[in-house]
Structure 1
Amino acid sequence: MALWLVYIAFDTPAARAVKPMIPDANRYQKEKVFLEYADSLFMDESHPEFQVLKGNVKFRKEDMFMYCDSANFYDKENRLDAFGNVKMEQGDTLNVFADKLYYDGQEEYARLRHNVRMEHRNTTLFTDSFDYDLLDNIGYYFEGGKIVDEQNTLTSKYGQYAPDTKDTQLLFDVELVNDKYVMNTDTLFYNTESHVADIVGNTIIVSDSSTVYTDQGWYNTDDDRATLYNRSLIVGKGGQTLTGDTIFYDRSAGFGEAFGNMILTDSAKSTILMGDYGFHNEKSNTSFATRRALAMEFSQGDTIYVHGDTIRTYLLMPDSSRVMCAYPNVRFFRTDIQGICDSLSFMSRDSMLYMHRHPILWNLERQVMGNVIKIHMNDSTVEKAYLPEYGMLGEHVADEFYNQLSGKEMIAHFDNGEISQLDVNGNVMAILLPMENDSTYNKLVNAEGSFLIVKIKNRQIEKLNLWPDVSGKVTPIYLAKKSQYYLKGFKWYGEIRPKDQYDIFAIPEAMKTLFSSPESIAPVRRIRNENE
């Protein structure tokens, strides 16, 4: 094999570098690859189609320069193969390094292999196999790679990077890592300038404070703010989960805002908060729901469903006890009790449920009304209902007849979900229809006193003790006047009683009328006299 020594003479003590002489007229032809420099150039007669270049080799293609230790230069085909310390240089912002380069000047396409590194401003790409389309200015890796900017490190099996737009597309086993969280997915679009990740497939984002599950949205890794779609799920470190049709999430602030079918679940506290709009703050542990708002508490067997136009939960310092507030137009349902009021609050500190403004509580066939009702809970079981300002109880007996009790203060004691005892204190008034042995009712008892205790067993009055200064009378029903049927201010509100957990969203007109009346128990139905 004969080698033609073209520019270097080896019989000298030291090889002399010679710059190839290229006419100036040809040096700036568009789309032409030019050899700028090499220490030596050989021609192999067995491969006359290329020149062998060695030592400090430098090529130019328009405004791009290519450097290497050695190269095979296919001048007529306008392409080259470069080896050792390969570098592609475009301006002062884009450099690509590799062990090997296969460059086609006609197609403007480069294939770089082994220890590839692209440096573009603040972004560095690492891979072992990299194809670079210089026409579209897009680079590709397909055997695994890594992209690093000042904010994040991204790895994937396949990746694209466009220096003009700074956009990346990553596929298969994608991982985005920074010092705050890790994002895993199979498809991700990311911009190395804005540091925004566009999520288009199943994605998990794990941090010390939360875990996010989503399949569509965007995440700004600079300020940790995200918009998530398709009922994404955020799981807080305390076990709370937030989902919705669309979620705006600020990870740094611990704030999630959900639009459309919001559901906030707190498994540790056995609660669910729902609404068409709502938010949750992980750091302050405050929550808010509105538009068909619903709160559920299911700590002990039975579940209570609470609806209001707005529902809020928050922690009360210094003991971090939980508070839930619902307002206005509140309706709630549980199998043992149901109720309505214009505002409701629950405090975990004393396990108290407070009902304000026209509260009504139902238990079986009994209805309790007052200016304020306080329900004492014990392990989610109703222990007693306390009416400190005024109380009135009604019990449907038959047709238009009701047992009725009222007084300045009333306490209803519960046992196994039913009222078992009533304590009435101050200005006691009673209308009772005792059941006869044949289970009929034939007399009406009107009584007044100062104090009253009623014992109830098997849903019937077992014992009644009224004292002192008792007065009253017994009247056969057929002789009783209509004015004796009802206590002043009594009305049976069965038509607005929540029937089940779905009925709590319906706001009957009678309930609206009641809530628009003065804030105290007052006659709603006019009592007819005996001549009517």
Structure 2
Amino acid sequence: MSDKRTKYTWIGGHRILVLGILCLFGFCLLAQRPVQKKVTGTTATAPKKDSVAKTGKPAKKEEPKQKSKVYLLHSDILKKTLDRSDAQVVVGNVIFRHDSLYMYCDSAYYFDQRNSFEAFGNVRMEQGDTLFLYGDHLYYDGMTQIAQMRMNVRLENRNTTLLTDSLNYDRVYSLGYFFDGGTLMDEQNVLTSEWGEYNTQNKQSVFNYNVKLVNPQFTLTSDTLRYNTASKVANIVGPSDILSDNNHIYSESGYYNTQTGKADLYQRSVLTNEGKQLTGDTLFYDRNEGVGEAFHDMVMTDTVNKNMMTGDYGFYNEKTKYAFATRKAVAIDYSQGDSLFLHADTLMMKTFHLDTDSMFREMRAFHKVRFYRTDVQGVCDSLVFSTKDSCLTMYDNPILWNENQQLIGEKVLIYMNDSTIDWAHIINQALSVEQIDTTKYNQVTGKEMKAFFRDGEMKKVEVIGSVRLVYYPMDSDSTLIGMNVSETSQLDIYLEQQKLDHMVMSPQSNGTLYPLPQIPKGKDKLDNFVWFDYIRPLNKDDIFEWRAKKAGDELKKNIRGPIELPNQHLFDQQKKEE
């Protein structure tokens, strides 16, 4: 018996020892758990400080950073629901916090394991004192940090308000975007579109589809637009129209400062103001100053008066009605069926007595002027056209051609009637030449000359003072009779179909008639005769080719008195106006 008890005692002691060892092992496992990081699929407890750091020993390899937890700070009621077994129902004065973000609502489903919640009624999100988001329904995912706000959504970011019915806000990128229509408002502008996004950090927004920006001074419509609520600059990235009371801007690329009214536009943008259009590869416009500048392949069109200017640079002031063009500058008048093309180094348009009954405009061309139309061509150094008297004045060696007629003098004045030549006045050293063939010319010269036109054709010429002429009379079948040389005080020449019909001299002078075979050498040309066929513009492209007069072909200096210098006249007038 004693041996048997001893045996059982050893066995019982052995069992107690085994149980003790197992308990000790379990206690050790429990003792190790607090220093381990607890990680689940949706939540993570904040890691405790490493005790090794206190000892100065090297720390263990850092584990991946965990997502921060969404905390339920307060609710009046907390309960479970059979409908959503993974959720807690929180009701009344509900408050959640995720990092620095606080969220309020009337009630919510709280998914602790998924680190998210679904909120209902009077939903409000607050991040600091700059970002507020309101709505009726919110789903917030703490893992992705994306808030999906629905119904009566309002986002407020300092001076900017965004209204929509559906908004997703990504806290990681500070980006809110809507996809079912929305409105963005700041102090000056209201923007609407079907789709858009807004960055609460850099204040940059992007809008697509039926975009409309409304400002008290203008309205911008587009298909795609970028806008910064801090700088108030709209970045145009698609076909866009900017409309104000008198202006219309069309552009597909550029920047428009809605606060200052200044625009930098590209890709053939167009500025329209009261029938005038300014187009260029690059366009600058200042709405407040009313100033537009165009660079490269500039076109300035006046659709009311049916004329235009082109060049590589153009300037237009819509307030003063001042226009300027240079670098291959061309003025084109298309008010008639046939267009007139005029080129000069610089073209200028000025308006005087603006908004009065006495208002008129002047078009000025400076240096190396050449113009072409099928019925009339001309060259000079400077030119002025005034709507006050519809007079075009040519300065400094002017030459005018009509069909086979050439007119030259010290100054030429051309009076227009409905954009066609009515009559021309050649002052000092006037010379008219009509070409008959390659060797014969009708010629007449005098102190001054007046040429009258009808339907674009020269019909009558009046030559006044010290008249001398060389002409070839013809019989009825247009056969040349001979050559007549005459002198008189005044001469009236009548033409039909650009041909000499008859002449009237005062006083009467028969002159000398030479048979064609017996014309003395040198008598067939007046001493001031010159034929500028090598200078005459041949077509609208030839106006760019400046050809100077040959040596000896210049007008002789007038010894009867000083001649008004054309450039000085223009510059003095410009100085007075300034």
Q: Which runs of 5+ in 1 are unaligned?
A: 1-22, 523-532
Aligned twin of 1:421: 460
Residue 330 of structure 1 aligns with an amino acid whose one-letter code is V
Q: Which runs of 5+ in 2 are unaligned?
A: 1-44, 49-65, 560-578
- Under a length normalisation based on structure 1, what TM-score does the superposition of the two structures give? 0.88
Q: Which one of the candidate residues 25, 39, 44 is aligned to 2:76?
A: 39
Q: Which one of the candidate residues 514, 532, 546 is aligned to 1:507?
A: 546
Q: Which moved more, 1:119-128 or 1:466-475?
A: 466-475
Residue 472 of structure 2 aligns with an amino acid whose one-letter code is L
- Under a length normalisation based on structure 2, what TM-score does the superposition of the two structures give? 0.82
Q: Secondary structure at the match of 1:42?
A: strand
Matches within 5 A, 1:121-132: 121-132=158-169
RMSD (Å) for aligned C-alpha atoms: 2.3
CA gap of 1:330–1:512, structure 2 versus 1, over 3 A, is farther
Tell which structure's C-alpha radius of gyration is larger: 2
Aligned twin of 1:296: 332
Distance 1:185 1:513 in 2: 61
CA contact (8 A) 1:358 1:514 kept: no
Matches within 5 A, 1:176-215: 176-215=213-252
CA contact (8 A) 2:90 2:109 kept: yes
Deviations along 1:181-235, one digit per CA (max 9) or x if unpaired, are 1111111111000011111111111110211111111111011111111111222
1:392 deviation in Å? 0.5
Query: Does the alignment pair 1:62 with 2:99?
Result: yes
Distance 1:195 1:438 in 2: 80
Matches within 5 A, 1:271-310: 271-310=307-346
Residue 278 of structure 1 aligns with an amino acid whose one-letter code is G
Residue 446 of structure 1 aligns with an amino acid whose one-letter code is V
Q: Secondary structure at the match of 2:543?
A: helix
CA contact (8 A) 1:358 1:521 kept: no
Aligned twin of 2:532: 493
Aligned twin of 2:59: none
Distance 1:489 1:446 in 2: 14
CA gap of 1:351–1:457, structure 2 versus 1, over 3 A, is same
Distance 2:228 2:533 in 1: 62
1:520 deviation in Å? 5.2
Distance 2:342 2:455 in 1: 21
CA contact (8 A) 1:450 1:469 kept: no
Q: Secondary structure at the match of 1:232?
A: strand
Deviations along 1:46-92, one digit per CA (max 9) or x if unpaired, are 53311111111111111111111111111111001111111111111
1:323 deviation in Å? 1.2
Distance 2:550 2:269 in 1: 37
Aligned twin of 2:301: 265
Distance 2:549 2:359 in 1: 35
1:450 deviation in Å? 1.1
Residue 346 of structure 1 aligns with an amino acid whose one-letter code is F
1:475 deviation in Å? 3.1
Aligned twin of 1:369: 408
1:421 deviation in Å? 1.1
Aligned twin of 2:131: 94
CA contact (8 A) 2:67 2:143 kept: no
CA contact (8 A) 2:404 2:498 kept: no
Aligned twin of 2:116: 79
Residue 366 of structure 2 aligns with an amino acid whose one-letter code is Y
Q: Secondary structure at the match of 1:311?
A: strand
Query: Does the alignment pair 1:331 with 2:331?
Result: no
Distance 2:521 2:237 in 1: 72
Residue 234 of structure 1 aligns with an amino acid whose one-letter code is L
1:445 deviation in Å? 2.2
Residue 284 of structure 2 aligns with an amino acid whose one-letter code is F
Matches within 5 A, 1:507-526: 507-508=546-547, 510-511=548-549
Q: Which one of the candidate residues 319, 342, 352 is aligned to 1:316?
A: 352
Deviations along 1:393-442, one digit per CA (max 9) or x if unpaired, are 01112222211111111001112222111111111111122235564446
Matches within 5 A, 1:232-243: 232-236=269-273, 238-243=274-279
1:343 deviation in Å? 1.0
Q: Secondary structure at the match of 1:300?
A: coil
Q: Which one of the candidate residues 210, 214, 218 is aligned to 1:173?
A: 210
Distance 2:205 2:551 in 1: 61
- Determine which structure has the larger helix proportion and give its number: 2
Q: Secondary structure at the match of 1:408?
A: strand
1:335 deviation in Å? 2.2
- Determine which structure has the larger strand proportion and give its number: 1
